[in-house]
Amino acid sequence: MWAEERGPVAVEQIVAARDRRKTARRRMIADHGLPVVCLTLVSPGPVKWWSWTERVFGVAEAELRRAFGDRGWMVREWEDQRPTTGPEAQIAVNASPWEIKRVLLKLEDTHLLGRLWDMDVITTDGLVLDRAKIGIRPRRCLVCTTDADTCTRTDAHPDDALLKAVDQILARAEATTGVLR
């Protein structure tokens, strides 16, 4: 198991962080007239900063930069934050939101750490493009085969089971690539 770097956060802090991200997205859309990518991490339970958090987030950011660069997509603004609720980035990208979402889905679904990344695309109309909107099955739960949103809403699994699943993802990625060193 990985070491806890910061203590638990309250639900009110998580809600405030979500509201802050929405405000930042609206500003970016108004400033640039472009879709915005929102990157956060999947971190079950009340602790949002672990010894692995910064490294996993850094890999996600590097993968986004590579994916955008490979396609010639211009980044107009990249805003990083490190609140107590976990790292987050908001990125205004000059590309079709649907194309961006397809690329992000591939990263989330194929990268060894992708299951720990939450990469959303927000259109210039403020619509969050989710898997259902483009006809793709929802993400599976970290523990079982049910969709993740259902298990989250119903609090189906204890935090220790979810954290064990995260630990398995991290161990597999480390053993395969050494990415967390």
* Contact status, residue 142 vs residue 44, Cβ threshold 8 Å: yes
CA–CA gap between residue 180 and residue 161 (Å, rounded): 22
| Tens-level pLDDT at each residue, the chain (181 residues) | 566 678 899 999 999 999 999 999 999 999 999 999 999 999 999 999 999 999 999 999 999 999 999 999 999 999 999 999 999 999 999 999 999 999 999 999 999 999 999 999 999 999 999 888 888 888 999 999 899 989 988 989 999 999 999 999 999 999 998 887 7
Question: What is the pairing mode between strands 88-94 and 74-81?
Answer: antiparallel
CA–CA gap between residue 102 and residue 67 (Å, rounded): 11
SS3 labels along 138-164:
CCECCCCCCEHHHHHHHCCCCHHHHHH
Alpha-helix residue ranges (DSSP H) falling in the chain: 11-32, 53-70, 97-110, 148-154, 159-177
Tokens 């915005």 belong to 36
Tokens 């309250």 belong to 10
Q: 12: which 2 tokens?
A: 């009110």
The CA-atom distances, in angstroms, between 74 and each of 17, 89, 105, 123 are: 27, 16, 19, 16
* Contact status, residue 142 vs residue 136, Cβ threshold 8 Å: no
The dihedral region occupied by 90, where left means phi > 0, alpha psi between -120 and 50, and beta the remainder, is beta
pLDDT of residue 179: 80
pTM, full prediction: 0.93
CA–CA gap between residue 149 and residue 70 (Å, rounded): 32
pLDDT of residue 90: 97
- Class of 11-135 in CATH: alpha beta
